[in-house]
Amino acid sequence: MKMDSIHQQIQVAFRYPLHFTTGVFDPANPLLGRVIGDDADRSPAPVVFVVDRGLLPGHPDIVAAIERYCEAHREVVALAAPVLLVPGGEAVKNDWHHVADIHRLIHRGALCRHSYVIGVGGGAVLDVVGFAAATAHRGIRLIRIPTTVLSQDDSAVGVKNGINGYGKKNFLGTFATPWAVINDSSFLPTLHDRDWRGGISEAIKAALIRDPDFFDFIERHAAALKARDLPLMEEVVRRSAVLHLTHIAQGGDPFEQGSSRPLDYGHWSAHKLEALTDYRMRHGEAVGIGIALDTTYAHLTGALGEAEWRRVIDVLQAVGLAIYTPELSEHLDDPDDPRGVLAGLAEFREHLGGELTILLLNGIGRSFDCHDIDTAMMILSIEVLRRRSAADTQRA
């Protein structure tokens, strides 16, 4: 028997800038034009825009503003097709037709791999736009302009995108590095309270696993953040985005080939809760509950002290996030029941691959990987949160 093997290693460097600005579509703001013009292989560069329809109530002239910007910077930006509006929120990720609509937009605009797809909106819309851009011509340059707290402080600075399928979060998707991300804080004041507060959960997550000083900052300013202090939120967004980007760039596993997922702290139950509520619960809200659940589990199993556990729960509630929802307590008698949150453990392992790996805290800013979850203790953790939430409701 004859065998012959050749092994080769490929190293590819990725670079993309993260910009912070206000008034990104103000013709006097040169940033977007520079991002495109500095890297374009031909001028003007063909671009298409996909915009979250949920922006229209707060920014009714956004399509006209985009058109005016492209006209003012026509030497570097050529609008190759009319602006496409798509639904915002998780609904856009639950329907494949929206991906097909973006593919058609790219086709009709005759875009090539050196053209630009620009997504403007919340994290769900950017996930779909990124998936479509990554799969057209095997990858077209993507510029993300996130418009929510959660997308600016977390999802838009990542390298993942996708859509939901078969009742599972992000079942279809790719890893694709964006060409650039532009955070414009002028979108934040028009957010609904749920979206303002929900996005703070991802900043709390990043602080808990990476930066105790940042957690202290959020803790000190929790009331002001809940009350919609914009300068404070800009600081939270920036620090959280930098933590996420630093982990992706320096964590050693940007495309998640291993089993450990620090940035998915609290997400195994969050993803399941979103599906169980038919996505009425928004991602940031679900992540807040997921953080509360895994922090409580770490405390009850002896990994995390009571004082630190209380700090985490108090901060979540202080910024306006729930720590419990009734769906947590349903169908717990059978861990494999797809209608119960515990089934999220198996789905999380399937989605990530390898052995089950759940990140837990053993201190503020300190964490470890856990591979075996005691379901009885997890059920007790749910009950602790239920009682705490009920007691808080009665006091209110």
Neighbouring-strand partners of residue 51? 85, 120
The model scores a pTM over 0.85: yes
Cβ 170 vs Cβ 131: under 8 Å: no
Mean pLDDT of 117-134: 96
Most distant pair of Cα atoms in the chain: their distance: 77
With the CA atoms of 321, 326, 328 and 330 taken in that order, what torsion angle do they form, in degrees rounded to the nearest 10? -170
**Does the pLDDT of residue 233 top 70, yes or no?**
yes
- Give the C-alpha distances (Å, rounded to integers) separating 327 from 71, 269, 304, 341, 393: 50, 11, 25, 8, 17
Cβ 319 vs Cβ 309: under 8 Å: no
Q: How far is it, in rounded angstroms, from Cα 323 to Cα 288? A: 7
Q: How far is it, in rounded angstroms, from Cα 315 to Cα 166? A: 35
Tokens encoding 57:
């109530």
Confidence band of 248 (pLDDT split at 50, 70, 90): confident
Alpha helix segments (H runs only) across 45-162: 62-72, 96-108, 123-135, 149-153
Mean pLDDT of 201-218: 97
**Does the pLDDT of residue 38 top 80, yes or no?**
no
pLDDT of residue 382: 97
Q: How far is it, in rounded angstroms, from Cα 301 to Cα 164? A: 33
Domain with CATH 3.40.50.1970 in the chain: 18-190
pLDDT of residue 255: 64
Confidence band of 243 (pLDDT split at 50, 70, 90): very high
Mean pLDDT of 136-162: 94
Hey, which CATH number is domain 18-190, 3.30.365.10, 3.40.50.1970, 1.10.10.60, 3.40.50.720? 3.40.50.1970
Domain 193-395, CATH: 1.20.1090.10
Domain with CATH 1.20.1090.10 in the chain: 193-395
